[in-house]
Structure 1
Amino acid sequence: MELIFIRHGQGEHTLDLPESLHLSNPSLSIQGKIQAKKLRSTLPLTSEDVLIVSPTLRTLQTASIWSENIECGKLVHPLVGPRIFPARMAATTLPCDELLDLERFQEGFPSFVPAQNLSSSLWSRGINVLPEDEFNLLAEEFIGFCRSLRRKRIYIVTHDGTITSYRQKISGQQLTREDFLQETEWFHLVLE
């Protein structure tokens, strides 16, 4: 199974740091929309592919633009929501990293289906500030979920800290913020 983690396109929350981090549910910037369109040629999707997307506006916009007119699987999963990296005790979630509620994302992105059989607390609090040991257990659960899809290739549209957390968990390597991907860059992992 191939997991391809893609960082979302440039979001409005990165345009005027640090103040813009306090935007609630930031959209893609104009540049972010252009970046998402470029994914169509750099990582073309097929009907055999599955997209798993973080429940934030900028990730859903990235995936929606990229997958326009492609009948691939489109899932939204809180276990790929924003995550602070490295994990810090007493950290709090900034407004830009709050998850969209189920009703709002289903209204705005009706072709995307929410992952089933998850606790409601995951949909409300996400994985952003979970302690490392708790995240690692949920990461195992998410990898099992991916395996259950029985697809050769799964694309995961998510955030820089989330990608780095999963990379570190899966590879066993110690990573830092220097390992963050830029907007719409991707990282490919093959799991047996």
Structure 2
Amino acid sequence: MDITFIRHGHGEHLVDYPNQLNCLHPGLTELGKSQVIGLRKQVIVAPEDVILVSPTQRTIETALLLAQNTNLMFSPLVGPRMFPQNPEFVPLVCDQIYSKEELSHKYPGIKVVELGLDCWEESINQMDACRFKILAEHLLEWCRQQSGNAFIISHDGTITSYRMLLGEIGLTRSDFLGEAGQYTMRNV
């Protein structure tokens, strides 16, 4: 199985950086939408593939532009995550995820992947590395059990955390994908 990580396009919270980072549920800007539309030429999703989406507005909009509701599934396990982790950092309002109730109301046809874990109340954003590793490994095992490849539409810190969990060494913020960036790990 291959996993392709995709970062959301340019978000509204970045328009007047850093002054908009406390904007709740920012979506994509017009630039962000055009970045994602350009990405559609490079990202081919087969019918058996799954697309896991962070429950934030900008990642959901990215997913809908890429796959138009095909095989989309929400998971808080791919929500925003600070990188590098520092317990003294305060979570940004722009990184608050939607609740299950908000998602089911706004996007009634899209499934939620929970894996029987209570991970909605406990955000992965500031979760310690050991707890994150346990939950992330559950999600990766679930991905391996699916019939196709996995696409994870998420955020810089989350993507980098998963890449390190999957064996990449020495990653830093300079390895972030950038807006509408993609990165595929083969035979995970």
TM-score per shorter chain, which class? over 0.9
Match runs of 1:39-118 below 5 Å? 39-68=39-68, 72-118=70-116
The C-alpha deviation readout for 1:107-126, integer Å capped at 9, x for no partner, is 22233211144344x11332
Residue 115 of structure 2 contacts residue 139 of structure 2 at CA under 8 Å; is this kept in 1?
A: no
Counterpart of 2:133 in structure 1 is 136
Over aligned residue pairs, what C-alpha RMSD do you find? 1.6
- Compute the displacement of 1:106 (Å): 2.2
Q: Percent identity?
A: 37
Question: Does structure 1 residue 159 correspond to structure 2 residue 155?
Answer: yes
User: Using the alignment, how far apart are the partners of 1:132 and 1:36 within structure 2?
Assistant: 31
SS in 1 for 2:180: coil
User: Using the alignment, how far apart are the partners of 1:129 and 1:88 within structure 2?
Assistant: 8
TM-score, normalised relative to structure 2: 0.93
- Count the aligned residue pairs: 188
- Compute the displacement of 1:64 (Å): 0.8
Residue 99 of structure 1 contacts residue 125 of structure 1 at CA under 8 Å; is this kept in 2?
A: no
Select between 176-185 and 32-41 the one with higher mean Cα deviation. Answer: 32-41
Gaps in structure 1 of 5+ consecutive residues: none
Among 168, 172, 175, the alignment partner of 2:171 is 175
Which residue identity lines up with residue 32 of structure 1 in the other structure? G
User: Using the alignment, how far apart are the partners of 2:37 and 2:105 within structure 1?
Assistant: 22
Question: Does structure 1 residue 13 correspond to structure 2 residue 9?
Answer: no
Which residue identity lines up with residue 168 of structure 1 in the other structure? M
Select between 24-33 and 89-98 the one with higher mean Cα deviation. Answer: 89-98
Counterpart of 1:148 in structure 2 is 145
- Compute the displacement of 1:92 (Å): 2.5
Residue 60 of structure 1 contacts residue 109 of structure 1 at CA under 8 Å; is this kept in 2?
A: no
The C-alpha deviation readout for 1:21-56, integer Å capped at 9, x for no partner, is 100111111111112222221213232221110011
Which residue identity lines up with residue 187 of structure 1 in the other structure? Y
SS in 1 for 2:41: helix
SS in 1 for 2:183: strand
- Compute the displacement of 1:172 (Å): 4.0
TM-score, normalised relative to structure 1: 0.91
More helix by share: 1
Which residue identity lines up with residue 12 of structure 1 in the other structure? E
User: Using the alignment, how far apart are the partners of 1:118 and 1:82 within structure 2?
Assistant: 20
SS in 2 for 1:66: helix
The C-alpha deviation readout for 1:126-171, integer Å capped at 9, x for no partner, is 20001112211222111111112232x1111000000111111112
Hey, which bits of structure 1, 4+ residues long, moved more than 4 A?
none
Which residue identity lines up with residue 135 of structure 2 in the other structure? L
Gaps in structure 2 of 5+ consecutive residues: none
